[in-house]
Structure 1
Amino acid sequence: MKPAIAATLLMASVSALAADQQALTMEARGQVKAFAQALMGELKGSIEKDGPVAAIAVCNTEAPAIATGLSLNGWQVGRTALKIRNPDNAPDAWETQVLNDFSARIKAGEDPAMMEATQVTGGEFRYMKAIPTAGLCVACHGAEVAPAVEAKLAELYPADKARGFNVGDLRGAFTLRKMIQE
């Protein structure tokens, strides 16, 4: 094969991969939006109706159910963090690297609401979107929590490390995966 033809084919292949990644990123953003809206709706409703202690139980059962409900069409949808509450959400090596990068970017003044990362490796597309700590979150994830909240967290999450956050801190990230053809 002539070098010019090989170069043209390579450029076309790279262009197609970039277009595929852009489409997958858009899909992932839609999944994250659906997850965030559903979870925040459940949490806000629970807090307004029964207070933060009830919201802990909602987060314990509803967040995994929402993630499972969105894990369709080849997507695996979840959340992770450097300071986890649920051991099932522990980050892998790439997720840890991205979360550390997000943290550094926040310290440098970047808005966490805009942070995302993608990777394609081993035939898999991966996407992460930062979750900034909102005012609603500190009732259960802040440095100081009410005694009733403390008791419920100890009951449902005995190995909880997801405390000490302030509004605007990196709480964690949505993390998505999808197998693709490279």
Structure 2
Amino acid sequence: MRYASTLVLGAILTAGIAFARPQPADEQPDVSAEVKASRDAARQFGGALKEALQQAIKTGGPTNGIAVCHDQAGQIAADLGSKLDMIIGRTSLKTRNPGNAPDNWELAVLKQFEARKAQGEPADKLEFFAVIEDDQGQKTFRYMKAIPTGALCLACHGDKLDPEVDAKLKALYPNDTARGFKEGDLRGAFTIAKPLP
């Protein structure tokens, strides 16, 4: 599981995906605090990743930046998730790390994001949240925020990669599909989950 949290919460989310039931509007909990906290968590996670990438690229070029995503991104997510009592991760329709593959709920949201972007919504404004209830009655708040492809991303995710970058990516990620992006494309999304009382 790509999320950095307990196996119990992982089981809750898995059950929630399999047995999620829509709730009538009058039974839905007020999740405004969770939305605000999730937006802030996505901003913090994205900021920490970008800062680490920029520093790595500055000191060792794009191949050095690959190490940030490969070796540090999961720990950054785990540390922030532990601090905020959330499960924090990244996912995409075109993954590089198979551990970041979307679950069924995330897959549906990512497809919705692509459709909304195709209708003219800016990628940096796309977000979605819902409360999922599993078959045990446990409610989990889930949130996703789109990640647009920035100029910084293109050195490793664009359609023309430096041969050294290409070789390192092939060595680390033999089943990589996270290529061919252009600036402004939907690169993926931050994904956050938090059990509700």
Same fold, TM-score > 0.5, yes or no: yes
1: CA distance between counterparts of 2:27 and 2:143?
21
Per-residue deviation, residues 40-89 of structure 1 (Å, max 9, x unmatched): 00001111111000000111111111111111253100000000001111
2:129 partner amino acid: T
User: What does residue 183 of structure 2 align with?
Assistant: 167
Contact kept, 8 Å, 1:119 with 1:125, in 2: the verdict is: yes
Alignment of 1:105-120 (within 5 A): 105-120=116-131
1:180/1:108 CA distance change after superposition, 3 Å: same
- Unmatched tracts of structure 2, length 5 or more: 1-23, 134-138
Runs of 4+ in 1 over 4 A off after TM superposition: 10-14
Rounded to whole Å, the distance in 2 between the matches of 1:51 and 1:110 is 33
Residue 48 of structure 1 corresponds to 58
Question: Which residues of structure 1 form unaligned runs of 5+?
Answer: 1-9
Point out the structure with max Rg over C-alpha.
1
Counting matched residue pairs gives: 168
Say whether 1:94 aligns with 2:110. no
Q: How far apart, in 1, do the equivalents of 2:123 and 2:50 lie?
A: 17
* Separation in 2, partners of 1:78, 1:12: 30
Change (3 A) 1:11 1:117: closer
Q: Which residue matches 2:157?
A: 141
- Partner secondary structure for residue 51 of structure 1: helix
Secondary structure at 2:175's aligned position in 1? coil
Please provide the CA RMSD for this pair.
1.6
Counterpart mapping for 1:1-182 below 5 A: 14=28, 17-18=29-30, 21-72=31-82, 73-122=84-133, 123-181=139-197
The alignment-based identity, stated in percent, is 46
